[in-house]
Amino acid sequence: MKKMSLVCAILLLVVATVVMTGCSDAETASKNLSTAADNFEINRRVVFFNGITDKYLLVIEGRCSIFSDTEDGQLEVTVKTGPDQYKKHFLGLSDNVTYFVEQLDSAKVDVYHYRVIYKPEIIIPNIDFNTSGGQ
């Protein structure tokens, strides 16, 4: 029994060491910035442009979270416009339409710790009921 707990402790130590040494400061900072942006803490500018005509098609500025949906060939941009207000934009990407995202303000992130965010409302969601009775 004692031998088994020693093996588990060594295995846990090896896994922890691999996880800790696997990330550089830049990777940790990048992940933390992405987490902050996905929680609408970072001001961004998203610009869609036509690579053939060099014309801007759309510019979105604000607290934006982005998701590149490669399966559908589009970029999804969710923008926080108020305390409980959001807008979602979709733009199809093609061989001549692309985008770039600029972070407008610097942000303080910790390169020694990663962020974990728990939201109790995700555990206990709002439930909407739809019935066929028209009520």
Phi–psi pair at 9, nearest 5 degrees: -65, -40
What is the per-residue pLDDT across 47-91, written as a single tens digit (0 to 9) for each?
999 999 999 999 999 999 999 999 999 999 999 999 999 999 999
Answer whether 77's CB lies under 8 Å from 99's CB.
no
**Least confident range of 17-26, 28-37, 78-87:** 17-26
73-87, 102-116, 120-134: range with highest mean pLDDT: 73-87
- Average pLDDT score over the chain: 83
- For residue 7, the 8-state DSSP code is H
| pLDDT, greater one: 116 or 44 | 44
Q: Identify the pLDDT of residue 127.
A: 76
CA–CA distance, 127 with 55 (Å, rounded to integer): 44
Q: Identify the pLDDT of residue 22.
A: 60
- For residue 37, the 8-state DSSP code is H
Answer whether 77's CB lies under 8 Å from 66's CB.
yes
Tokens 């739809």 — which residue? 130
What is the per-residue pLDDT across 113-122, written as a single tens digit (0 to 9) for each?
777 777 777 7
| Predicted model pTM | 0.68
Q: Identify the pLDDT of residue 2.
A: 61
Of 73, 71, 69, 67, nearest to 46 (Cα)? Answer: 67
